[in-house]
A and B are shown apart, each in its own frame.
Chain A
Amino acid sequence: NAGVTQTPKFQVLKTGQSMTLQCAQDMNHEYMSWYRQDPGMGLRLIHYSVGAGITDQGEVPNGYNVSRSTTEDFPLRLLSAAPSQTSVYFCASRKGQTYEQYFGPGTRLTVT
């Protein structure tokens, strides 16, 4: 199993550009989530999904869109990048409420 994979590892965007961060898992996990990690702020939940076709907002959803058309994939879209979105983004998945959450390696995004 590859676990949770994320692409790209690094990305630099200009203000106003859009892009999609890819996330995939091969563990047949129902739950998938996107977090951003900023110094001193911990991991903040952006969006999450509890199954294909079901998504919900987290703490910091503004400026981001998600969809979950398959169990395996959970892409995160930045609609119009802003410098405040410079961060490290982690995708994660878990089988259910009581299970360990597995994290991808992260995407380091810089918006200039």
Chain B
Amino acid sequence: AQSVTQLDSQVPVFEEAPVELRCNYSSSVSVYLFWYVQYPNQGLQLLLKYLSGSTLVKGINGFEAEFNKSQTSFHLRKPSVHISDTAEYFCAVSEAQAGTALIFGKGTTLSVSS
């Protein structure tokens, strides 16, 4: 079965600084990888996903992530964050075979201050 580890529970940064949110996964088969964002008191929305092909994936709001198969990682990055990026970010993995569910990490709280 697959699993996801988000290495940082909280990441505080200043506005306009770069940020990296780390995610590692474990699976015995090929996987699809996702990042979701949850703003305060809201549901989750998709930031980006990796299915195949280019290992650098670009998403909404200026975020990107890089799939590294050898390190089983899918870290999320943004070169310059805004106050409005303050939210909880979830990495998720789905095995690349039919009939399995999407499994989430425990989340990373990104706090952006001025």
Contacts and interface: CB of A to CB of B under 8 A. Distances in A.
A105 B90 contact: no
A97 B49 contact: no
Contact of A35 (B34, B98, B104): B104
Interface residues of B, number: 27
Interface residues of A, number: 26
A50 B101 CA distance: 8
A31 B94 CA distance: 12
Contact of B32 (A48, A90, A97, A103): A97
Contact of A105 (B34, B43, B107): B43
A101 B102 contact: yes
Contact of B98 (A43, A97, A105): A97
B49 A100 contact: yes
A90 B104 contact: no
B106 A48 contact: no
A45 interface: yes
B96 interface: yes
Interface of B: 6, 9, 32, 34, 36, 43-46, 49, 51, 90, 92, 94-107
28 contacts: A33-B102, A35-B104, A40-B106, A42-B90, A42-B104, A43-B44, A43-B90, A44-B104, A45-B103, A50-B99, A56-B99, A56-B101, A58-B101, A90-B43, A92-B102, A96-B98, A97-B32, A97-B94, A97-B95, A97-B96, A97-B98, A97-B100, A98-B49, A101-B34, A101-B36, A103-B43, A103-B44, A104-B43
Interface of A: 31, 33, 35, 40-45, 48, 50, 56, 58-59, 90, 92, 94, 96-98, 100-101, 103-106
Given A94-B102, A98-B49, 17 more contacts: A41-B106, A42-B90, A42-B104, A42-B106, A43-B107, A44-B104, A45-B103, A58-B101, A59-B103, A97-B100, A100-B49, A101-B44, A101-B46, A101-B92, A101-B102, A103-B45, A104-B43
